Chain A
Amino acid sequence: MKAVSNTRIVVVGNGMVGYKFCEKLLSKKKDGQDFTITVFGEEPRAAYDRVHLSEFFAGKTADDLSMAGIDWYAENGIRLFLSDPVVDIDREEKLVRSHHGHIVYYDYLVMATGSGAFVPSIPGVEKDGVFVYRTIEDLELIQSYAKKARRGAVIGGGLLGLEAAKALLDLGLEEAHVVEFAPRLMPRQIDDAGSRMLQSQLESLGLHIHLSKSTQEIKGDDCIEGMQFADNTFLEVDMLVISAGIRPRDEVAKIAGLETHPRGGIVVNNQLQTSDPFIFAIGECALAHHMIYGLIAPGYEMADVVATMLTGGEKEFLPYDMSTKLKLIGTDVASFGDPFVEEPACRTIRYENKAKGIYKRINVSTDGKTLLGGILVGEAEQYNMLLQTCKNKTILPPDSEDLILGSRGGEEAGAGVMSLPDDALICSCEAVTKGMICHEVGENGHQTVDALKKCCKAGTGCGGCIPMVKDLITGVLKEKGVYVRNVVCEHFDYSRQELMDLVKMNGLKTYGAVLDHHGKGDGCEICKPVVASVLASLWNENILEKDRAVVQDSNDRYLANIQKGGTYSVVPRIPGGEITPEKLIVIGQVAQKYGLYTKITGGQRIDLFGAHLGDLPDIWEELIDAGFESGHAYGKSLRTVKSCVGSTWCRFGVQDSVSFAIEVEDRYKGLRSPHKLKSAVSGCVRECAEAQSKDFGIIATDKGWNLFVCGNGGAKPQHAQLLASDVDKETCLRLIDRFLMFYIKTADPLTRTATWLNKMEGGMNYLKAVVVDDVLGIAEELERDMQNLIDVYKCEWREVVESPELRKRFTHFVNTPIKDPSITFAEMREQKKATEWA
């Protein structure tokens, strides 16, 4: 197909694929070619990332999800009409008419109208409280309705339905139900055994799952009140999301007389032309190779095919792999290739671990040479590798079960991906091959994921390939003989541990001195806080003195946590969570006086939010006068030592956990470390203080104390492991001294103890050998270093309050005492809250 100069192109639909088409057309445009592009979109917003739609509930805004701002269209000369669907195509005249009456002529028309949610005709679907899950508007409606709902259900146990159900849970509904017509979940992607495993995993997350249920009627007056099923059972719900499949948007095409399929979809050939050769259809509205491709990667490929042809190239749309890796539903699920082939057409290897909720299945060709497909539930780390092995028909090793069990030979990370052929597709959304990535890394020096995203777009689609991209970077660098080390940043060619040794040896105490001696350039937001933390961990001098204030991270810079809107929060230390009524009153009075929002934290203390920068020193002055100290909630340092009430009051307690917690907290307060540190002490094995989720946790026994280390709550929970049992207090503290100091000296920046341990060669056994058995002979030094830090501890807020020089920095403006006039608050439950992100 030859493109005439100045070709008029009209795109109907501004979804992900319609947008991608515009982007590809512009980038493929050759000299002498000229396009006038007009885009009609039915939604009020320009194209956004529908694949990550659910992240809207996790705080992403419409802006974050947007594929490109309105400006992008203007800058590239694209006319964009939003909230203005095309209602009519006149194929004789070659023009389209929009809802608002715009008439635009085309040389080529591209239909990218996507799909809508398929809503089965159940009586009652029109009631309030019944939703679909497709657009940002849908999610906004769901979000606001969920505020007054307690029980929700989703019809449809497929990929999208489960995602929606998880979202209901995350929105805070007490009950979330999934109602599926088929006898198993995700019937199109995974087999029976996989579905069962998935079901038990989801149930443990709190979802209620109902299989083989057909909904007969949606009951309620105006609003939904419940669902009546064909088997005469009834489920009370306040809201319902329907996710029963998709329905291609082919209505306009149909009216225009284009060939459509009886079950929906605009029929296209291998060039993606509809029955009218001047009209193309791409994305989820197109029926190619007798099917609708309901995934983003094939949609982008279609966009590429049409853009290539319109710019004079040649390309066909071939049947596309429909492998899926699910995200967001709280457990990993993936299927690839042909997941369902059965013996004797193949050899099937299954692995099942009920305790861990893992099910894996691979289908290998009867000659054992190639991988045909498979299913992964509960753990999908090998997904990318398996998918590549399957797609590229790589010859399998003799022990093909290693593919899902993991090689037991301790192969190095990165070696696997490097064995793929150069044309292996790594990022299928953007069609980037292994060869292209290796070239960018090796020849063009793009050695970070961000750099690769910019230069070849790898990883910018669904993001599923990013782990592989990282492995490729490491692989290429290793092949080139580059020793891959975690250096701090472009200004310091050292790891944190190396830098710490150098700073200590040379007795350096300011950032400037460290940069002059061991770095280059002018520093940046990465190395400054790292050096600041190293200096604090070595010398424990006030972090705001000398040149150190301006190298502290946002929170440390003002000894308070910066919050949405630019105000700060204040957390006084309340060791062990024990507080006198008098002190409680002072906190209340301070909060009242400065208009602060108060909340009990997860660490048994009280957080005061909404303080103006200029008020911080006055607030602290009052708190310090009443006997409080800094709680270091802003620092990468010891946070709290939580405690249960222990033997003083509790009838089960075997030791006084509160007293010990206070002692521990007082000992390590102010200690700066690579990341924050949390601790807890429980008075008996019932573990009410949750010590096993902490960086170091202590649990009372009849004979003394058990010490656990390297646990973690947060985003990636991990149980702490036992370091020593039945030790007395002194021994316990000595071991903690060693453990913490060893961590501070050897961990990479911003690495919690749990991750530090996970990366440590030899793991827990090695850690024990160093800390308890002192195989390295450094125990004494570690204890001494810790004692030095403890000896020089001072409350840094007291120092600020008492120093006019330091106090002076706590103002929003340097030339007027007024407060930041842009700060505003909203009201909620008789307190204030930060206004939402603009």
Chain B
Amino acid sequence: METITDTINAVTWHMACYVDDIPEDGGGCAFISGKQIAIFNFSRRGEWYATDNQCPHRQQMAISRGMIGSQGEEPKVACPFHKKTFSLQTGQCLNDDEYRINTFPVMVKENRVYIGL
């Protein structure tokens, strides 16, 4: 798998997929160094996001299959299992203070999507 190391910001960019692998205003899951990462193409806002694919509520590998949207200005994703919603920016669960997921930086270059881990 293709990677780019950015020593200044201390991230390694992993090539995850091509832009059209992820549906517009939807998500997909990439397998990167043994980790499941959910990637979202929020084309309505012209933004990309990446988070854990695992929902902390019942440990289901499903966040990438959730619907995305907004709450006020905050972009969010809803787990398809029990509809816990998470901020795509901070990973904080918006309808249950107890949960949080990790978020990762995304870089799109020449039709490729890279995730920083």
A543-563 residues with Cβ-Cβ distance < 8 A to B are 547, 549-551, 553-554, 557-558, 562
Residue B78, interface by CB 8 Å: yes
A806-832 residues with Cβ-Cβ distance < 8 A to B are 809, 812-816, 818, 820, 822-823
Q: Do A838 and B61 have beta carbons less than 8 Å apart? A: no
Closest to B25 in A: A550
Bound: A127/B26 CA distance, A = 58
Shortest CB distance A804–B (Å): 14
Q: Do A814 and B65 have beta carbons less than 8 Å apart? A: no
Closest to A549 in B: B23
Bound: A551/B67 CA distance, A = 6
Q: Which of B31, B45, B72 contacts A816 (CB 8 A)?
A: B31
Q: Which of B30, B81, B83 contacts A562 (CB 8 A)?
A: B81
Bound: A521/B73 CA distance, A = 8
Q: Do B76 and A524 have beta carbons less than 8 Å apart? A: yes
Shortest CB distance A474–B (Å): 22
Residue B39, interface by CB 8 Å: yes
> Contact string, B16-57, partner A, CB cutoff 8 A, digits 1/0?
110001111111111110001001001011000000001000
Shortest CB distance A744–B (Å): 22
Q: Which of B54, B60, B75, B95 contacts A565 (CB 8 A)?
A: B60
Pick the most buried of B28, B29, B31, B67: most chain A CB atoms within 10 A of its CB: B67
Shortest CB distance B102–A (Å): 16
List residues of chain B with CB within 8 A of the CB of A524.
Answer: 67, 69-71, 76, 78, 85
Closest to B16 in A: A815
Q: Do B42 and A550 have beta carbons less than 8 Å apart? A: no
Residue A528, interface by CB 8 Å: yes
> Contact string, A786-821, partner B, CB cutoff 8 A, digits 1/0?
000000000000000000000001001111101010
Q: A450-B95, A814-B39 are in contact. Are A521 and B70 (CB under 8 A)?
A: yes
List residues of chain B with CB within 8 A of the CB of A528.
Answer: 67, 69
Q: Do A814 and B29 have beta carbons less than 8 Å apart? A: yes
Bound: A551/B25 CA distance, A = 9
Bound: A512/B24 CA distance, A = 11
Shortest CB distance B17–A (Å): 4
Residue B62, interface by CB 8 Å: yes
Q: A69-B98, A512-B44, A814-B16 are in contact. Are A522 and B31 (CB under 8 A)?
A: no
Closest to B31 in A: A813
List residues of chain B with CB within 8 A of the CB of A814.
Answer: 16-17, 21-22, 28-30, 39
Residue B66, interface by CB 8 Å: yes
Q: Which of A512, A522, A566, A809 contacts B69 (CB 8 A)?
A: A522
Bound: A812/B37 CA distance, A = 11
Residue A479, interface by CB 8 Å: no
Q: Do A525 and B78 have beta carbons less than 8 Å apart? A: yes
Bound: A450/B32 CA distance, A = 37
List residues of chain B with CB within 8 A of the CB of A551.
Answer: 25, 67
Q: Do B65 and A558 have beta carbons less than 8 Å apart? A: yes
Bound: A491/B44 CA distance, A = 14
Shortest CB distance A40–B (Å): 24
Residue B109, interface by CB 8 Å: no
Q: Do A822 and B36 have beta carbons less than 8 Å apart? A: yes
Q: Do B75 and A522 have beta carbons less than 8 Å apart? A: yes
Pick the most buried of A521, A812, A837: most chain B CB atoms within 10 A of its CB: A812
Question: How big is chain A's contact interface, by range?
Answer: 35 or more
List residues of chain A with CB within 8 A of the CB of B54.
Answer: 822
Q: Do A813 and B30 have beta carbons less than 8 Å apart? A: yes
Q: Do A562 and B17 have beta carbons less than 8 Å apart? A: no
Q: Do B61 and A820 have beta carbons less than 8 Å apart? A: yes
Q: Which of A490, A522, A550, A812 contacts B26 (CB 8 A)?
A: A550
Shortest CB distance A795–B (Å): 22
Residue A523, interface by CB 8 Å: yes
List residues of chain A with CB within 8 A of the CB of B25.
Answer: 512, 547, 550-551
Q: Do B95 and A547 have beta carbons less than 8 Å apart? A: no
Residue B59, interface by CB 8 Å: yes
Q: Do B67 and A550 have beta carbons less than 8 Å apart? A: yes
List residues of chain B with CB within 8 A of the CB of A566.
Answer: 60-62
Bound: A109/B21 CA distance, A = 61
Q: Which of B1, B22, B42, B80 contacts A554 (CB 8 A)?
A: B80
List residues of chain A with CB within 8 A of the CB of B80.
Answer: 553-554, 557, 562
Bound: A820/B64 CA distance, A = 12
Q: Do A547 and B60 have beta carbons less than 8 Å apart? A: no
Shortest CB distance B106–A (Å): 13
Pick the most buried of A491, A512, A527, A813: most chain B CB atoms within 10 A of its CB: A813
List residues of chain A with CB within 8 A of the CB of B70.
Answer: 491, 521-524
List residues of chain A with CB within 8 A of the CB of B81.
Answer: 554, 562
Shortest CB distance A563–B (Å): 10
Q: A565-B60, A815-B17, A838-B59 are in contact. Are A557 and B76 (CB under 8 A)?
A: no
Bound: A565/B76 CA distance, A = 23
Shortest CB distance A101–B (Å): 33
List residues of chain B with CB within 8 A of the CB of A490.
Answer: 71-72
> Contact string, A58-75, partner B, CB cutoff 8 A, digits 1/0?
000000000001000000
Q: Do A550 and B23 have beta carbons less than 8 Å apart? A: yes
Q: Which of B26, B29, B61, B71 contacts A549 (CB 8 A)?
A: B26
List residues of chain B with CB within 8 A of the CB of A547.
Answer: 24-25
Closest to B59 in A: A838
Shortest CB distance A221–B (Å): 42
Q: Do B76 and A837 have beta carbons less than 8 Å apart? A: no
B72-97 residues with Cβ-Cβ distance < 8 A to A are 72, 75-76, 78, 80-81, 83, 85, 95
Bound: A755/B67 CA distance, A = 27
Q: Do A550 and B59 have beta carbons less than 8 Å apart? A: no
Shortest CB distance A59–B (Å): 11
Bound: A815/B68 CA distance, A = 21
Bound: A261/B36 CA distance, A = 60
List residues of chain A with CB within 8 A of the CB of B71.
Answer: 490, 524
Shortest CB distance B62–A (Å): 6
Shortest CB distance A157–B (Å): 36
Shortest CB distance B27–A (Å): 8
Shortest CB distance A466–B (Å): 16
Pick the most buried of B17, B22, B69, B98: most chain A CB atoms within 10 A of its CB: B69
The 12 listed contacts between A and B (C-beta, < 8 Å) are: A491-B69, A522-B45, A523-B44, A525-B66, A550-B23, A550-B27, A553-B67, A812-B29, A813-B36, A814-B17, A815-B17, A822-B61
Binding site for B on A (CB under 8 A): 69, 450, 490-491, 512, 521-525, 527-529, 547, 549-551, 553-554, 557-558, 562, 565-566, 809, 812-816, 818, 820, 822-823, 837-838
Binding site for A on B (CB under 8 A): 1, 16-17, 21-32, 36, 39, 42, 44-45, 54, 58-62, 65-72, 75-76, 78, 80-81, 83, 85, 95, 98
| Closest A-B pairs by Cβ, 6 of them | A550-B26, A554-B80, A524-B69, A525-B78, A522-B70, A814-B28
Known: A491-B70, A525-B67, A566-B62. 18 other contacts (CB 8 A): A69-B98, A491-B69, A521-B72, A522-B44, A525-B78, A547-B25, A550-B24, A554-B66, A557-B65, A562-B80, A813-B30, A813-B36, A814-B22, A814-B30, A815-B17, A815-B32, A820-B36, A838-B59
